[in-house]
């Protein structure tokens, strides 16, 4: 009997096994071992005057802070901290421009604790990238992946030095791609958004896929507290390597320039322009003597594709134009007067003077008459003051379609439903002739900034 009890107990024990190890989550150990030797810590010394030269804190959005602004003691000269990674075995290193900009000394610490002084090969403020060089041979490097093929939901890993803790590893997923950030001049970088924990000191470090290949360079965080809160942004490696190549060859970056001001197309505007869905980049202004003007683009055109690439969001356009070589010919598909057509434009070279707002997404606007506005003619002195060549001044806005569209007193109405407006008399005539119960587009200039809006014409 005793033997039977022992046997039964053993059988019961044999049926109890530990919970199976879940394989749902990726294993990062080997990836980190392979990649870490090529990741470097960057220490810089900058004087207080250089460190904050030209910084107007009132103009810096609080939620988008460069990592170096989060360092504590801002009064005395001292070391800054960032990350980077080796892209060529003879010592070329990629990092963020804001990590090394205005520095007096740059020290690169390798994974084996050796230290090297680095020199700046080239800097590019628009992409926030810098190429450094240290002395060395047969240094470990990282393999480059492709950011163009990234999709939301993919696992990614970051290695860097948050708050000075070297070779810290964090992981998460890609939240979105092609993000445009408010403080990014001209929107020339289609950022990768992730939920990877990134903090001050991670700047310039690599963002890796599960194959250990670099898909991005950690650059910015969205924060109200100064630390990680679930929104991190990385520069796509495809963009970064194009910049690095130019920095290595010529020390500067050449970008394409089209010469237009654009805004997004919402549902109402899409309907008024004859589009079956909201898409494209609506041109609100064509700059004088620009490639766009020479190529025949007009205000009111909607750019639907650029060199065969569909423009779903207006913010897609600056990314594509900026990566296009100057003097090359680009083919644009546009919507004009309800018809699709293709236009060839020879892309120009972006100069610093050309850098400015590339898009306008502010609320849109337009008439005591049928649509609810009073208007007056513009004198020549008014046109010079307001920097417009045509249009009428809106002197009063009443309840009705114009107010609902967002039009304000003081706006200059320059175009209505595709027709240029030269006088108050002409505008009243055009408004009276409009069929009822349709959506039309109106171009206005407010505070010297042009924009389009959709307006619902009431039934007579």
Kindly report, residue by residue over 338-387, the tens digit of the pLDDT: 899 999 999 998 875 555 444 443 332 333 577 888 888 888 878 888 88
pLDDT at 92: 97
Per the annotation, the verdict on 441 as an active-site residue is no
Work out the average pLDDT over 94-98. 94
CB 235 within 8 A of CB 189: yes
Nearest to 269 by CA among 301, 309, 296: 301
Considering the candidates 127, 147, 168, 203, report the single residue annotated as catalytic. 203
- Name which residue leads in pLDDT, 414 or 353: 414
Lowest-pLDDT choice from 37-41, 95-99, 128-132, 316-320:
316-320
Helix (H) or strand (E) holding 92: strand 92-96
Our answer to whether residue 203 is catalytic in this structure is yes
3-state DSSP assignment of residue 13: helix
State residue 164's pLDDT score. 84
Judged against a pLDDT cut of 80, whether residue 14 lies above it is answered with no
Q: What are 289-305's pLDDT values in tens digits?
A: 899 999 999 999 999 99
> Is residue 22's pLDDT more than 70?
no
Q: Which two tokens stand for residue 149?
A: 């093929």
Q: Would you say residue 19 has pLDDT above 50?
A: no
| Among 356, 258, 238, CA closest to 307 | 258
- Percentage of residues of the chain with pLDDT beyond 70: 80
pLDDT greater at residue 186 or residue 323: 323
pLDDT in tens, 206-231: 999 999 999 999 998 876 666 666 78
Contact 273, 441 (CB under 8 A): yes
Q: Which pLDDT score, from 0 to 100, does residue 77 have? A: 38
Q: Do 346 and 295 touch, CB atoms closer than 8 A?
A: yes
CATH numbers and ranges of domains, the chain: 29-250 (2.40.10.120), 256-360 (2.30.42.10), 373-457 (2.30.42.10)
Reported as type and span, the H/E element at residue 299 is none
Does 136 have pLDDT greater than 70? yes
Active-site residue, from 83, 101, 124, 128: 128
Q: Mean pLDDT in the chain?
A: 82
Residue for token digits 């979105």?
A: 176
Distances (CA, A) of 331 to 38, 51, 258, 260, 315: 41, 43, 12, 15, 18
- The answer to whether 314 touches 306, Cβ cutoff 8 Å, is no
DSSP H or E stretch at residue 99: helix 97-100
| Coil, helix or strand at residue 300 | coil
Cα 125 to chain centroid, rounded: 13
> Residue range 256-263: average pLDDT?
89
Q: Is the pLDDT of residue 276 over 60?
A: yes
Show Cβ contacts of residue 394 under 8 Å, excluding neighbours closer than 6 positions: 366, 367, 373, 374, 375, 402, 407, 408, 409, 410, 411, 412, 413, 444
The span from the first CA to the last CA of the chain, in angstroms, equals 102
Cα–Cα distance for residue pair 333/229, rounded to 1 Å:
40
Cα 247 from chain centre = 21
pTM score of the predicted model:
0.65
Stronger pLDDT, 9 or 306, i.e. the higher one: 306
- The neighbour count for residue 154, using CB atoms within 10 Å, is 15
DSSP-assigned beta bridge partners for residue 193: 176, 233
Q: Say what the pLDDT of residue 377 is.
A: 87
Identify any residues that bridge with 342 across adjacent strands, giving them in sequence order: 333
d(C-alpha 397, C-alpha 369), whole Å: 10
For residues 405-426, average pLDDT: 89
pLDDT score for 447: 85
Burial class of residue 88, CB neighbours in 10 A (0-12, 13-18, 19+)? middle
Identify the active-site residue in 98, 127, 168, 301.
Answer: 98
* pLDDT at position 360: 43
Between CA 262 and CA 358 the distance in angstroms is 6
Q: Kindly list the distances between the CA atom of residue 29 and the CA atoms of 92, 208, 323, in Å, as whole numbers in the listed order.
A: 26, 13, 36
Residue 258 pLDDT more than 80? Answer: yes
According to the model, what pLDDT value does residue 382 have? 80
Tokens of 297: 């683009």
When mean pLDDT is compared over 78-82, 154-158, 383-387, 408-412, the highest value belongs to 154-158
- Give the pLDDT confidence score for residue 68 in this predicted structure: 38
- 3-state class (DSSP) for residue 270: helix
Proportion of the chain above pLDDT 90, given as a percent: 43
In this structure, are strands 129-133 and 92-96 parallel, antiparallel, or unpaired? Answer: antiparallel
Q: Which contiguous run of DSSP H or E holds residue 14?
A: helix 2-15
Q: How is 192-240 classified by DSSP, letter by letter?
A: EEE-S---TT-TT-EEE-TTS-EEEEEEEEE-SSSS--S-EEEEEHHHH
- Please name which of 220, 143, 130 lies closest in space to residue 179, comparing C-alpha atoms: 220
Name the phi and psi angles at 447, rounded to 5.
55, 40
Token pair for 407? 């039009």
**How is residue 268 written in tokens?**
């109402």
Which residues lie below 8 Å from residue 233, measured CB to CB, with a gap of 6+?
179, 181, 191, 192, 193, 194, 218, 219, 220, 221, 222
């Amino acid at each position: 009997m005793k033997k039977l009890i022992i046997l039964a107990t053993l059988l019961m024990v044999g049926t109890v096994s530990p919970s199976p190890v879940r394989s749902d989550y990726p294993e990062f150990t080997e990836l980190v071992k392979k990649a870490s030797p090529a990741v470097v810590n960057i220490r810089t010394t900058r004087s207080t005057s250089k460190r904050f030269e030209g910084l107007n804190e009132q103009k810096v959005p609080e939620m988008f802070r460069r990592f170096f602004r989060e360092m504590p003691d801002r009064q005395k000269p001292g070391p800054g901290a960032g990350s980077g990674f080796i892209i060529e075995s003879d010592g070329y290193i990629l990092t963020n421009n804001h990590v090394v900009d205005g520095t007096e000394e740059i020290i690169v610490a390798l994974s084996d604790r050796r230290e090297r002084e680095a020199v700046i090969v080239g800097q590019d403020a628009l992409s926030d990238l810098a190429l450094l060089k240290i002395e060395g041979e047969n240094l470990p490097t990282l393999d480059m992946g492709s950011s163009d093929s990234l999709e939301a939901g993919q696992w990614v890993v970051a290695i860097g030095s948050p708050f000075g803790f070297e070779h810290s590893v964090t992981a998460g997923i890609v939240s979105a791609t092609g993000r445009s950030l408010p403080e990014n001049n001209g929107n020339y970088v289609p950022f990768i958004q992730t939920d990877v924990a990134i903090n001050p000191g991670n700047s310039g470090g690599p963002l890796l896929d599960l194959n250990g290949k670099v898909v991005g360079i950690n650059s910015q965080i969205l924060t109200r507290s100064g630390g990680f809160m679930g929104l991190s942004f990385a520069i796509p490696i495809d963009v970064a390597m194009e910049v690095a190549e130019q920095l290595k060859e010529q020390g500067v970056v050449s970008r394409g320039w089209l010469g237009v001001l654009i805004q997004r197309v919402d549902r109402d505007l899409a309907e008024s322009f004859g589009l079956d869905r909201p898409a494209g980049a609506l041109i609100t202004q064509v700059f004088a003597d620009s490639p766009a003007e020479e190529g025949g683009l007009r205000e009111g055109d909607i750019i639907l594709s650029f060199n065969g690439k569909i423009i779903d969001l207006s913010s897609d356009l600056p990314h594509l134009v900026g990566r296009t070589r100057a003097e090359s010919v680009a083919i644009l598909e546009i919507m004009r007067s309800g018809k699709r057509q293709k236009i060839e434009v020879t892309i120009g070279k972006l100069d610093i003077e050309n850098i400015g707002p590339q898009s306008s997404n502010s609320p849109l606007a337009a008439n005591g008459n049928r649509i609810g506005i009073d208007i007056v003619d513009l004198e020549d002195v008014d046109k010079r003051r307001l920097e417009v060549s045509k249009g009428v001044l809106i002197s009063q806005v009443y309840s009705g379609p114009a107010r609902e569209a967002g039009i304000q007193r003081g706006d200059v109405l320059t175009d209505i439903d595709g027709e240029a407006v030269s006088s108050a008399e002409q505008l009243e005539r055009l408004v009276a002739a409009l069929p009822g119960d349709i959506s039309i587009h109106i171009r206005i200039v407010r505070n010297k900034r042009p924009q389009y809006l959709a307006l619902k014409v009431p039934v007579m």
